């Protein structure tokens, strides 16, 4: 361990403080040091690349709010999607259950409501 006297500690602290104060004064007068923030993402929804290399927008996103309050709409909570039938969650939104067919969805909903 190095022995440093109180006077030497004071001298070291003062020399560092003066450098710091000079830097603060420079940065206040010079706006070149400020950071800038940019959002350069041009694919906010995501992309899909097929085997041929074609790039398309990702279309299989599940919106959390999608379905919220669906029981009060004309369309109801049973919907046909690209990958099959689904029952939307009326209270929370999103997908409640996946089904094989519209009839299968109706059976699931009937059983669910009978148990409530």
**CA atoms 70, 74, 76, 82: torsion sign:** negative
Show pLDDT as tens, one digit a residue, over the chain (116 residues).
678 888 888 887 777 666 556 555 555 555 555 666 676 766 666 777 888 888 887 665 544 457 778 877 777 888 888 888 999 988 888 888 899 999 999 999 888 888 77
**Prediction pTM value:** 0.43
Q: CA–CA distance from 93 to each of 40, 106, 114 (Å)?
A: 30, 18, 21
CA distance 80 to 88: 11
In the chain the beta strands, taken as DSSP E runs, fall at 47-49, 55-57, 78-81, 84-88, 95-99
Both tokens assigned to 105: 């969805």
The SS3 call for residue 78 is strand
pLDDT, residue 59, reads 65
pLDDT, residue 103, reads 93
């Amino acid at each position: 361990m190095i022995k440093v006297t109180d006077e030497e500690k004071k001298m070291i602290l003062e020399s560092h403080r003066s450098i710091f104060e000079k830097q603060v004064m420079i940065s206040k007068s010079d706006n070149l040091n400020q950071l800038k923030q940019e959002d350069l993402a041009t694919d906010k929804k995501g992309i899909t690349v097929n085997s041929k290399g074609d790039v398309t927008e990702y279309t299989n996103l599940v919106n959390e709010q999608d379905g919220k309050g669906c029981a009060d709409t004309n369309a109801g909570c049973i919907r046909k999607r690209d990958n099959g039938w689904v029952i939307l969650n009326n209270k929370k939104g999103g997908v409640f259950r996946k089904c094989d067919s519209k009839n299968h969805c109706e059976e699931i909903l009937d059983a669910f409501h009978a148990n409530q």
